[in-house]
Amino acid sequence: MLRKKSLLITGLITLSALGALTLLVTAPSWSSPALLFVSSTAPENLPTAGYDLTLHGSGFSQETRLWLVPEHSIRTAITATLETFGSPYQFVSRDDRLYVANGARGFFIVQGVQSLVPRISGNLESGGQGLEVALHRDTALLAAGNNGLQLIDIRDDSNPQLLSALNALAPALSVVNSASIVYVARGKSGVEIVDIADPRHPRRLGVLPDLPAAYKLAINGNILVISTTDGGWLYDISQPTQPRRLAALPVPGGNNTVMVRWEETLYWATKSAEGGRLYALDISRPFAPRLLRSVPLSGTPLGISCNAEQLAVALGSYGVQLFSLQEPQLTASSSIAAKGRSNYALFLGSDLWIADSSGELLRLDQEKGKALTTSPLLPNLSQRINPIVTPQLFSFGDRKKISLFDHWNETAPVLLAQLPVTGLAQQYLSADQQTLWLATRDKATATTGKLLSVDISLPHAPRMTGQISFPHAPVIIGEYGTTLVITSQTSGQPLIDKRTDRLDSLHFIDISQPESPILASTYDLGDSSTGISLTESSIVLMQTDGLLRVIDISATEAPKEVGTLQMPWLHTAAWAGRVNIVVKDDVAFVSSSLGKIFLIDLHDQQRPEYLGDFTFPAPVRTLLLSDHLLLVELNKEGLLIFDLKESRAPAILGTIPLPGRFHRLTVQGGKIWYTHDDSNGLYSLPLPRRLQNSDTDHDQIIAHLAQSPPPGPYRLWLTDKGKNLLVPGVSWHSR
């Protein structure tokens, strides 16, 4: 009987997981198979606290819930998408058409750019790698990589034809033209000049002399801009066949430089040893260009575009970063999340077109796109360990120091103090928020370390008060009363910031006197573990052999193992990467690089029981618990939100795509705080918020907004028995 019941529960969980996966990979609709339907829309503006929101429709039940979910998704701004079956790198526009360089799939034409349903009208695969395209009358000029320069007849949109190819110009990396004179960047072979007055018989005119490797070109009027390994150059091409060098640009160059000119300003984006940067240069006097300003970029620039109001830089997996050109300085106004990897961006009227490496062209409504974006807080600050956020303070850290900021004014934090710390690897704030505990690692040995206590009762004057040295690198797990629980690895391998952490000892530190912490006891785990979590009075950990263990620490001087559960299917995952564990209401959620979350019933700690699992399209990197919400970081996919109001029957609310590879997540004040790889600053996003049901019947639901949410864009969602439903036509914005 018990086995039948267990099989039934497992079956139900499996069905729930399949339903959840469906929600994850399909777009919500206005109605659901459960006959959940909304016929009315909500007010246009986000109401203030104390408001009762009434929706009419059908299929509502006592299980129906109304949510405010952060609208931080590129999908809601997309007005058209085209599958290219290639990898679009760059494109240009003319009239109502786009001409696209499509990587290994060559070249294609898009018709109806402004229509509701643009379409690909014709394509040409002529070998090579379509990297860039330019236009001259009825001819498209394609820089085709190892196949050189290709000239394509585009008079018939449905049937572009190859007119000629200069294979000897390989590699053709970038192409621009002044009337019938074409300039081709060829890497270490410099810049080639070609006459295409007769596109069937192009003529090579020569090479620009004394020029190092050239990778990217731009042209505007009589000025040719060239990016080389040594920087940038300006050439006068008033006599197109005899370019004349004017000046060098005071900026670094390289093979990943992109540029665009707007009136008398040249915008130059590149990545050097110091990181990605965007430069603005005054070239009104091209023989004496002048650097106006520069700002950091989140990633490596791949494409650039601008109009009179803003500039867009495509940054690969970091999406598209937008800059306002209406301010005296270059202001990073926002970043639009990448769907995969943004290769290029182009402003066309009120739309922004993005070339995505997943093989799609995306047309975005700019106004919606602006509402979906975020700007970094403290953009010049680089942190390499998890930040600490409280209602009053920010605590940031790199491996040399911690920085404390006043957090009262969230939009303009003020630096209070900095404290030098050698080998800083982790920070942890005590429950009373008076002591900051720091774990450090000796750089020389990479295995020994210290636990330091810092008094921050006066944040403007933090004091180092105590320390304990360890023959290993400590990792802080959490507090149990007046005991700080740390874990370590004693086998001599680096521990912190590695995806293959191995933990084999527990240590209990008496912190009743933070200025003199004492090692009270140590517990040998006996075998290396790769995931660990502290509950009210126990430790839950996962060994690398797939054994889940529950250790009672109610008596910290004598911890004892009380229960185990062998999970052999986790053996491979445990060795492949970190296992994350969080516990909510006696249910442990265990994630792995398999792209799964396993549910373990801990109601009886002596007999942990497997409940089921959820499967996702990417490895799970991080689990984070906030009240009744479980935040699941999926590698390069976004942030998945679970509702754990019923922990044994978790429900997926949906995913929130975030730009690039985000990490170092924490939750405070109703917001998710996170950083990006290789980018500075701290980003935030409101948490989903469930409204209180005031009244529900079959065709009406009334929900109560008890308090105003943090500023940001939101979407209204209905959930009912595993079904998600967008409320039609609603996008609220709180300021």
Looking at per-residue confidence, does 28 or 731 come out higher?
A: 731
Residue 122, burial from CB neighbour count under 10 angstroms (0-12, 13-18, 19+)? middle
Model confidence at 457: pLDDT above 80: yes
Identity of the highest mean pLDDT range in 138-142, 425-429, 654-658? 138-142
Whole-prediction pTM: 0.63
Say how far apart CA 193 and CA 608 lie, in whole Å: 73
pLDDT band at 270, cuts 50/70/90? Answer: very high
Query: What mean pLDDT is predicted for residues 626-638?
Result: 82
Model confidence at 52: pLDDT above 80: yes
pLDDT band at 219, cuts 50/70/90? Answer: very high
- Cβ-proximal residues to 444 (8 Å cutoff; 6+ apart), any chain: none
Q: What is the pLDDT of residue 338?
A: 56
Sheet of 275-282, strand order: 258-262, 265-272, 275-282, 290-296
Task: Say what the alpha-carbon torsion angle 689, 692, 695, 700 is, to the nearest 10 degrees.
Answer: -10
Model confidence at 423: pLDDT above 50: yes
Q: What is the pLDDT of residue 81?
A: 78
Model confidence at 272: pLDDT above 70: yes
Q: Show contacts of 667-670: CB within 8 Å, 24+ apart.
A: 667/624, 667/626, 667/631, 668/389, 668/390, 668/391, 669/389, 669/391, 669/710, 670/709, 670/710
Mean pLDDT (the chain) is 83
What are 353-410's pLDDT values in tens digits?
999 887 888 888 776 665 555 667 887 777 778 889 888 899 988 778 899 999 776 6
Residue 327, burial from CB neighbour count under 10 angstroms (0-12, 13-18, 19+)? exposed
Query: What mean pLDDT is predicted for residues 417-442?
Result: 92
Rounded percentage of the chain residues whose pLDDT exceeds 70: 82
Model confidence at 4: pLDDT above 60: no
DSSP state of 315: -
Per CATH, domain 1-72+616-735 is 3.30.70.260: no
Query: What mean pLDDT is predicted for residues 464-468?
Result: 94
Model confidence at 70: pLDDT above 80: no
Say how far apart CA 610 and CA 617 lie, in whole Å: 22
Domain 381-534: assigned CATH number? 2.130.10.10
Among 48-57, 88-97, 156-165, 222-231, the minimum mean pLDDT is found in: 48-57
Q: What is the pLDDT of residue 357?
A: 82
- Cβ-proximal residues to 118 (8 Å cutoff; 6+ apart), any chain: 80, 82, 98, 110, 111, 112, 363
What are 553-574's pLDDT values in tens digits?
999 889 999 999 998 665 554 4
Say how far apart CA 260 and CA 268 lie, in whole Å: 7
Among 166-175, 241-250, 379-388, the minimum mean pLDDT is found in: 379-388
- Tokens (6 digits) for 417: 């103090």
What are 680-715's pLDDT values in tens digits?
778 887 788 888 888 888 888 998 888 877 776 777
Q: What is the pLDDT of residue 660?
A: 57
Rounded percentage of the chain residues whose pLDDT exceeds 90: 43
Model confidence at 522: pLDDT above 80: yes
Query: What mean pLDDT is predicted for residues 162-169?
Result: 96
Query: What mean pLDDT is predicted for residues 243-256?
Result: 92
Q: What is the pLDDT of residue 621?
A: 84
- Tokens (6 digits) for 24: 């994850």
Residue 527, burial from CB neighbour count under 10 angstroms (0-12, 13-18, 19+)? middle
Say how far apart CA 623 and CA 532 lie, in whole Å: 12
Q: Where in the chain is the domain with CATH 2.130.10.10?
A: 76-299, 381-534
What are 496-517's pLDDT values in tens digits?
333 344 677 899 999 999 999 9
Q: What is the pLDDT of residue 518?
A: 94
Model confidence at 663: pLDDT above 80: no
Q: What is the pLDDT of residue 657?
A: 63
Query: What mean pLDDT is predicted for residues 462-489?
Result: 90
Among 112-121, 382-391, 406-415, 583-592, the minimum mean pLDDT is found in: 406-415
Helix or strand or coil: residue 11? helix
Q: Which of 205, 204, 202, 347 is nearest to 267 (CA)?
A: 347
DSSP string for 168-202: GG-SB-EEEEETTEEEEE-BTT-EEEEE-SSTTS-
- Tokens (6 digits) for 656: 């929130």
DSSP state of 442: -
Q: Which of 369, 370, 357, 346 is nearest to 113 (CA)?
A: 346
Helix or strand or coil: residue 466? strand
Q: Which of 395, 425, 483 is nearest to 673 (CA)?
A: 395
Q: What is the pLDDT of residue 681?
A: 77
Query: What mean pLDDT is predicted for residues 143-160?
Result: 96
Q: Where in the chain is the domain with CATH 2.60.40.10?
A: 1-72+616-735
Q: What is the pLDDT of residue 89?
A: 95
CATH topology of domain 76-299: Methylamine Dehydrogenase; Chain H (2.130.10)
Asked if 243 and 258 count as a contact pair (C-beta separation under 8 A), the reply is no
